Amino acid sequence: MAVLVATGSLAIPASSASAGVRTTAEVNTAHAAALTVAATTAQPVLRQGSRGTAVTTLQRRLAALHYDVGPIDGIFGPSTYHGVVAFQKVNNLVRDGIVGPQTWGALARPVIPKPKYTHSGYSVEANLTKQVVYLARQGSVVRILDASSGKASTPTPTGNFKIQRRIDGWRQSSLGLLWRPNYFYYGYAVHGATSVPTYPASHGCVRVPIPAMNRLWSIIGIGTPTHIYR
């Protein structure tokens, strides 16, 4: 199922920097510092249904950290919720999708995940321990998606695979109803689903939210390396 592009360091001549042009590292540092201040002051608690500039700030920060949040529109909808949950999973926080003091604080000093495998093109990694999917490229995680893999009675197979076939639409299978499945091992796929809980709940596939799969669909394809691990 699924799982965009890591920001590299931008080299700027010293003369330009001294003229007031800030490097990417300086901008990121300033952004993190601003969030640190925000985390220690009265920040609103955000959850699904919240709207406004604080939600826009949240969405921009998550997007900068490569979490899939969909449009940056100041509306805390399902895509933002799943982006928050994925962030909480990676940062070992309570997976409630609510942005309170702990999540605001972690946004200022986040864990930056790295892929386990390096490929010249795109690859997909499903971290079953974290319950997230990474879209990676050239040794960097470029997108992070909320995911739910197989439950204990129907575990997701682990190993190194490639996407073998895809269906552009709904597929009713013995493992359930799959949206745009990307099959990596027999009938197991990374696919979109209407239900992506915070814990392993599938019949063996790796579920991601339907809008997230729609955003991922055109980036991956047949032959994309797919790594499933704990």
Q: Cα separation of 37 and 223, whole Å?
A: 45
Higher pLDDT, 4 or 53: 53
pLDDT digits (tens, 9 = 90+) for 94-148: 999 999 999 999 999 999 999 999 999 999 999 999 999 999 999 999 999 999 9
Residue 177 burial class via C-beta count within 10 angstroms: exposed 0-12, middle 13-18, buried 19 and up: middle
Taking a C-beta distance cutoff of 8 angstroms, is the pair 2, 216 a contact?
yes
Prediction pTM value: 0.83
pLDDT tens, position by position, 23-81? 445 545 555 555 655 554 678 999 999 999 999 999 999 999 999 999 999 999 999 99
179 with 210: CB under 8 angstroms?
A: yes
**Of 17-21, 81-85, 104-108, 176-180, the least confident:** 17-21
